[in-house]
Each structure stands twice: as structure tokens, then as C-alpha cells.
Copies of this chain bind each other. A is one copy, B any other.
Amino acid sequence: MNIAILGYGTVGSGVYEVLQMNRSYIAKCAGEELNVKYVLDLREFPGQPVMKVLTHDFNDILNDPEVDIIAEVMGGENPAYEFTKKAILAGKAVCTSNKELVSKHGSELLRLAEENKTNYFFEASVGGGIPIIRPINRSLTADDILEIRSIINGTTNYILTRMKGDGLDFDEALKEAQDNGFAERNPAADIEGLDAARKTAILASLVNQTQVECDDIYTEGITKISAADIAYASRLKAKIKLISLIRRIDGKTYASVSPLIINNRCQLYNVDGVFNAVMVKGNAVGDLMFYGSGAGKLPTASAVVGDIVEAAKHRHINVVTIWDPEILKLADIDDLVYSFFVRVPAAQAENAKSHMRIDVIVDAGIPGEFAFVTEPMSGREFKSRSSELEIISRIRAELA
């Protein structure tokens, strides 16, 4: 069976490498040898083995009836969207790590795959190497999923871990992450929470079996988190994590991405560095957690190649994934109840004490400030009570 890889970047070269490295085991699982017939990239890679199969023209792949499966690992919406559509219409299976494309067009591409008796798989689009998409689609089908709570962006988790570990400020930790290859030169999509929001949209769409728009998800990144915030959290024996939340209750679905202060009573507390973890609560299975490398060349490639094997085993047999195109209206996350960690100027301490329902006052030795954690309240109540305060920082907290 012949494979084509679209994009020879980090993930694409990983897919190529994994297919060579575990060739015989993969052949046994897939039922036959998997051969990389093409790699599409605009660049040249002089002296590298990939040159033998390199092409600059997608039509070489599209028009070759010997190509059964395509790994789309180029990322971005275009031209990935056009290439994927054409491939599926030609009856080829497509396996992807492209969360932007899946979150925007997953519903349509799945329907197209069904109509063309082929498959569109996207295990690598959420949680890197962690099996989470297929477990939701193929294992947890007996459960009403009540909640998914996860750390699904390795870059921000690395930055927050380093800020906590060595007291670095955000900019220092970001620079270190970039130097170590854990953050892109243009890190906006990661640090502003957009990458996590795309993955959250995919998970929320799957558990609701209908389209959840990334833009509808309340999203706060970590750019405003300071070393001082981390120090206060440490005083609370807690960490700040960028948490993706999907909660389904009373027929409503809430979805958000935001920093959250958690202590070691939350399983996600120990998920550090570039690791990811996805906690799933079902009404029958209870609490599950899936943990592993959320990014990186070989882990992400492992997920793409796992999809390729699945595609090889289901040639011309569509594996149904229900993802209706109707857009789900999300509920207002200001309904949700959290504690809030708040810093205000010291001069406002009395004002805060009289207006907020304060649970704990926190002292991290920072002069001129008054910092506290409120009792649990809805976001709506918090906004109303804090309307007259000059807030230095405000972070949701779950410390119970």
C-alpha cells in the first residue's frame, strides 16, 4: 500500500522516520507493507533519502491511483483544505495532525469521506501522541461525557512549569522555550490560547456530535501571567495551568480555555513541562485520565502513523464519526462557579474586604498589594462584586 506525506516539516519527517523505524511491526498490524511513494514539500533536501520520493506538485499524488493514504501534516487552513478535499473525493484516506483544519472543516470532511467510502482520521490533532480521539470515538461510546478537563498545549505548559520552577518571568520563559524548540518563533497561537481553543473545539464537537466553533470558546492565554502571580500560587501550594474545560450539564455545554490555579487535589497538578493530559468524566466510567507527550516529532508522528494503519485496515470502508454541521450554541461561562484569585493595590484592601466574599488572604511578600482568594462564586457575581476595584490580576482558582 502506498502512502504520500504532505509536508516534510517536524511532523512530516517524523512520519517518514516512524514508517521506516517500525516497518515490519507496522506491516504486520496493517496487513501489508506500507511504502512512502511521495513526500510533498516546496523545499529541496539535498543529500537526504527523502529526495528519492520528493515532489513539488500535489497533482502527482492526486492523480496516482496507487496512492491509497495521505498524511496531511502541513498545517494551516490553505492549501491543506483544498488538498484534503481533492484527496477524499478521489477515494484516498487522509490522516492529519492539522487542528486548525479539523476544528474548522472536520464536519464537512468527515461527511465527504463517508460519501466517498474512505476515511478522515485526526488522532494527532489533539494531545500529540496521546490516544484520545479514537478512545472518545470508539471506546467511550457507552458514556454520557459530563466533563473534559485538559492540558493540551505543551508550549504554555512548558513556560508555566519553568516560571514556577526557576522563578522566571513570562518573557524569559518564552525565550527559553523558543531556544529549546518548544515554542515557535511566532508563538501567538500558543500563548494566546488559540491552539488550545482549536483542540477544545474538536473535543467539544466530538462529545456533542455537532459543530462547536473555536471562536465561540471563551479563551484567555497566559501572556498576562507574571512571576508574582506564580509566587502567590506557590504560597497557596498551587500551580497555574492553562486548562481547557468542556462541561456538559442540564443540556448545556460550556467550553473555555483559561489559566486556572489548581492544587495537588487535581490530577493535572503533576502534569509538567511539555506533557499533556486529558481528563474525561463519563456518567458510567467515572474519571479517566490520558497522559503523554503532547507534541514533538516522534510522538505526533506515532499518532499519524497509527491512523495510517487504521486507514490501511479500513480501505474503502468508512469508519463513521458523527459530527453534524449544525453549530452548537455554547452556554455563558459566567454561569460557572469558581474561586477567584485577585490582586489589588493595598489602598483598596478595605474596599475589597467589604465587596468580595474573601476566603483566604495571601501574602507573597510583595509590597503595596492586597491579594486574596474569593469564596466560590459565578463569574457573573464576581464581575458585579469587583466592578469598583482596580484589579492588578485576576485568575480563576479551584483549591477545594
Residues of A whose CB lies within 8 Å of any CB of B are 14, 18-19, 21-22, 25-26, 28-31, 123, 129-131, 134-135, 138-144, 209, 267, 270, 282-293, 296, 298-299, 301-306, 308-310, 313, 317, 320, 322
New contact pairs (4) apart from A21-B284, A286-B299, CB-CB < 8 Å: A22-B284, A134-B134, A287-B292, A290-B291
Do the beta carbons of B138 and A302 come within 8 Å of each other? no
Asked if B284 contacts A267 (CB within 8 A), the reply is no
Q: Which residues of B contact A21 (CB under 8 A)?
A: 144, 283-284
Write out the residue numbers on chain B whose beta carbons fall within 8 Å of the beta carbon of A130. Answer: 288
Measured CA separation A14–B299 after assembly (Å): 36
- With a CB–CB cut-off of 8 A, which chain B residues contact A123? 139
- A288→B288 contact, CB < 8 A: no
A25/B144 in contact, CB under 8 A: yes
Please give me the residue from chain B that is nearest to A286 by CB atom. Answer: B293
Contact of A141 among B289, B301, B306, B320 (CB under 8 A): B306
In the complex, A26→B305 CA distance in Å? Answer: 29
Whether the Cβ atoms of A140 and B131 lie closer than 8 Å is yes
Q: For the complex, give the distance between the alpha carbons of A267 and B290 in Å.
A: 12
CB of A29 within 8 A of CB of B141, answer: yes
B-chain residues with CB within 8 Å of residue A302 when the two chains form the complex: 140, 142-143, 282, 284-285
Given the complex of chains A and B, what is the CA–CA distance between A31 and B321 in angstroms?
11
- A286 contacts B129, CB within 8 Å? yes
Please indicate which of the listed interface residues A141, A282, A305, A317 has the most CB atoms of chain B within 10 Å of its own CB: A141
State in angstroms the CA–CA spacing of A292 and B282 once bound together.
11
Copies in the complex: 2
Return chain B residues, CB-CB under 8 Å to A296: 286
Nearest opposing residue in chain B for A292, CB measure: B288
- Complex alpha-carbon distance, A25 and B29, angstroms: 31
Pick 21 A–B contacts, CB within 8 A, sort by A: A18-B142, A22-B143, A22-B144, A26-B141, A31-B320, A134-B134, A134-B139, A138-B306, A139-B303, A141-B309, A142-B303, A142-B304, A142-B305, A143-B302, A284-B301, A284-B302, A285-B303, A289-B292, A290-B290, A291-B291, A313-B320
Least distance between A174 CB and chain B CB atoms (Å):
24
* In the complex with contacts A309-B141, A310-B138, A298-B284 CB distance below 8 A: yes
Interchain CB contact under 8 A, A285 and B309:
no
Most buried by B among A144, A270, A288, A305: A288
CA gap between A204 and B27 in the complex, in Å: 20
Beta-carbon contact of B306 and A140 below 8 Å: yes
- CA gap between A320 and B30 in the complex, in Å: 10
User: Which residue on chain B has the smallest CB distance to residue A18?
Assistant: B284
A31 to B130 alpha-carbon distance, docked (Å): 27
Q: A343 → chain B, closest Cβ, in Å?
A: 31
Q: How distant is the Cα of A135 from the Cα of B67 in the complex, in angstroms?
A: 27
**Distance A290 CA – B291 CA, assembled complex (angstroms):** 6
A281 nearest in chain B by CB position: B292
- Establish whether residues B292 and A322, one from each chain, have CB atoms under 8 Å apart when the complex forms: no
**Closest chain B CB from A206 CB (angstroms):** 11
The answer to whether A209 and B28 touch (CB under 8 A), given A129-B286, A292-B289, A301-B284, is yes
Measured between beta carbons, the chain B residues less than 8 angstroms from A22 are 142-144, 283-284
Give chain B residues whose Cβ lies under 8 Å from the Cβ of A129: 282, 284-286, 288
Q: State whether B135 touches A131 (Cβ < 8 A).
A: yes
A298: B residues at CB distance < 8 A? 284-286
Bound together, the chains give a CA A301 to CA B286 distance in angstroms of: 11
Q: Establish whether residues A142 and B26, one from each chain, have CB atoms under 8 Å apart when the complex forms.
A: yes
Given contacts A123-B139, A267-B291, contact A284 B313 (CB under 8 A): no
Q: Report the minimum CB–CB distance from A302 to chain B (whole Å).
A: 4
**Distance A374 CA – B139 CA, assembled complex (angstroms):** 43
